[in-house]
């Protein structure tokens, strides 16, 4: 009987293995080179556990826990009733691009024309559009780390070379002018900045950005890609963009959107504001692979920019209160080293003091092990620091209720105390 089963099923099994191998080899090298998004993966894992009835507190997700303001939702409903349901210009409705120009002038003191604005399916696409439109194979892109998970992968897609410049918690996760200059080579094509930062919450001051701009002023061929999606979730009292300095302003690509400031993550509307040659290039690219973003979502975004801005300050105050709470609570846990985030809704504790410790069969070798341990032991979802090019850290999002923050940190404290 065993011989008979083997005779019939082994060829099928071998054929399946060969088929899987063929499938894997058929995937392009550029896709094989990409890493899966660890933030999305952890969020999915926590959702799966909750579906099994396990009370998981998800501190891995990077989105506001507020609902989209009513006046924005009403604008979307009206857009449907008014039949804004057809293709739009690739770079977005003119009325939306004008509203963005007004926002950039009134809030940031920068003058743009609508043809310098390209609206996309979220700031993520805007960033990728810029990188794919500027970077050639072999070009170097300087990325301060810790850095958002997708920057490195986008550079890989463009066949560029990632040049990572690390900044530790001791320097508030912000690179120095000396570090920046040391990273520049004849192959440097772009510098990517994010302030306020995901994953650290750090915010560059005006003086710090001016010092970086002074370095970059000596290298006029380098493009600066400035990710400003967390502009309004800022606890410093002032937002400054590197584009404000005239010595580099003409080669800054600013990326922003409605996801974070207006609690519109699912609407998928972002934009870039750029020199005309870059804007035209990104629009050409977008026209060939996604075309326009949702017509209805564009009308909602327009309402966000031209309507009342009170919702921004209400959410910002809530996030600041939560920041204060989580800093206080995490500061009570031995072995964690934290900064005081000045923006966004993340905190990025250094956790290497727990490496090498164990609880029963659970051995903590790195931040991945610790993140999984906290999920399984404390039922708190975090994201390992390696996803952000900082393997000694983990990221927690405090875009959740005060009660969830208190409970999550209490669970983490108990779980970490079990490690020896």
Residue 98 lies in a domain: yes
Helix axes 276-289, 123-134, angle to 10 degrees: 110
Q: Does one domain contain both 214 and 318?
A: no
Residue 93 lies in a domain: yes
pLDDT digits (tens, 9 = 90+) for 273-286: 999 999 999 999 99
Q: pLDDT at position 392, please?
A: 98
Residue 76 lies in a domain: no
Mark 383-397 as b/e (b = at least 16 C-beta within 10 Å).
bbbbbbbbbbbbbbb
Q: Does one domain contain both 281 and 340?
A: no
Q: Does one domain contain both 344 and 257?
A: no
Residue 73 lies in a domain: no
Beta strand extents in 33-175 (DSSP E only): 57-58, 117-120, 140-145, 161-166
* Cα–Cα distance, 220 to 120 (Å, whole number): 27
Of 257, 285, 307, the position where a domain reaches its end is 307
pLDDT digits (tens, 9 = 90+) for 232-253: 999 999 999 999 999 999 999 9
Q: Does one domain contain both 295 and 333?
A: no
Residue 110 lies in a domain: yes
Extract the tokens encoding 168.
Answer: 């530790």
CATH code: domain of residue 252: 3.40.640.10
Q: Structurally, how many domains does the chain consist of?
A: 2
- Average of pLDDT values for 356-384? 95
Q: Does one domain contain both 251 and 239?
A: yes
CATH code: domain of residue 61: 3.90.1150.10
Q: pLDDT at position 48, please?
A: 87
Domain span holding position 177: 86-307
Q: pLDDT at position 23, please?
A: 64
pTM: 0.92
Phi, psi for residue 94 in degrees, rounded to 5: -60, -40
Element (H, E) at 395: strand 394-397
Of the listed ranges 10-14, 76-80, 305-309, 357-361, the one predicted with least confidence: 10-14
Q: Does one domain contain both 297 and 154?
A: yes
Residue 119 lies in a domain: yes
Q: Does one domain contain both 291 and 149?
A: yes
Of 290, 307, 324, the position where a domain reaches its end is 307
Mean confidence (pLDDT) of the chain: 94
Extract the tokens encoding 244.
Answer: 């404000």
Residue 25 lies in a domain: no
């Amino acid at each position: 009987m065993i011989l008979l089963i083997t005779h019939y099923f082994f060829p099928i099994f071998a054929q399946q293995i060969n088929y899987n191998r063929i499938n894997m080899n058929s995937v392009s090298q550029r896709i094989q080179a990409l890493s899966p998004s660890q933030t999305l993966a952890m969020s999915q894992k926590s959702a799966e556990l909750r579906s099994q009835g396990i009370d998981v507190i998800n501190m891995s997700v990077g989105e506001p826990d507020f609902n989209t303001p009513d006046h924005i939702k009403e604008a979307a409903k009206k857009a449907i009733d008014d039949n804004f349901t057809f293709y739009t210009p690739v770079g977005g409705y003119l009325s939306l691009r004008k509203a963005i120009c007004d926002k950039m002038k009134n809030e940031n003191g920068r003058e743009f024309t609508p043809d310098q604005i390209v609206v996309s399916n979220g700031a993520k696409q805007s960033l990728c559009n810029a990188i794919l439109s500027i970077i050639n194979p072999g070009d170097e892109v300087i990325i301060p780390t810790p850095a958002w998970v997708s920057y490195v992968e986008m550079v890989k897609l463009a066949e560029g070379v990632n040049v990572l410049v690390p900044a530790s918690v001791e320097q508030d996760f912000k690179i120095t002018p000396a570090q920046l200059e040391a990273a520049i080579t004849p192959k440097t094509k772009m510098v990517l900045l994010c302030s306020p930062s995901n994953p650290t919450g750090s915010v560059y001051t005006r003086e710090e950005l001016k010092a970086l701009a002074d370095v970059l002023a000596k290298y006029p061929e380098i493009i600066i890609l400035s990710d400003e999606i967390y502009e309004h979730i800022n606890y410093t009292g002032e937002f400054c963009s590197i584009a404000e300095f005239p010595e580099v302003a003409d080669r800054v690509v600013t990326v922003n959107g409605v996801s974070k400031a207006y609690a519109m993550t699912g609407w998928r509307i972002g934009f870039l504001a750029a020199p005309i040659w870059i804007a035209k290039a990104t629009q050409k690219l977008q026209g060939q692979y996604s075309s326009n973003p949702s017509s209805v979502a564009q009308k909602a975004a327009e309402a966000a920019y031209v309507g009342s801005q009170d919702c921004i300050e209400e959410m910002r105050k809530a996030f600041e209160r939560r920041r204060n709470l989580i800093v206080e609570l995490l500061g009570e846990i031995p072995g964690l080293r934290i900064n005081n985030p000045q923006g966004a809704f993340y905190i990025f504790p250094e956790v290497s003091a727990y490496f090498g410790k164990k609880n029963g069969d659970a051995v903590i070798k790195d931040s991945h092990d610790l993140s999984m341990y906290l999920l399984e032991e404390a039922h708190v979802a975090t994201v390992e620091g390696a996803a952000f090019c900082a393997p000694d850290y983990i990221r927690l999002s405090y875009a959740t209720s005060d009660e969830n923050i208190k409970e999550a940190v209490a669970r983490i404290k108990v779980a970490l105390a079990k490690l020896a």
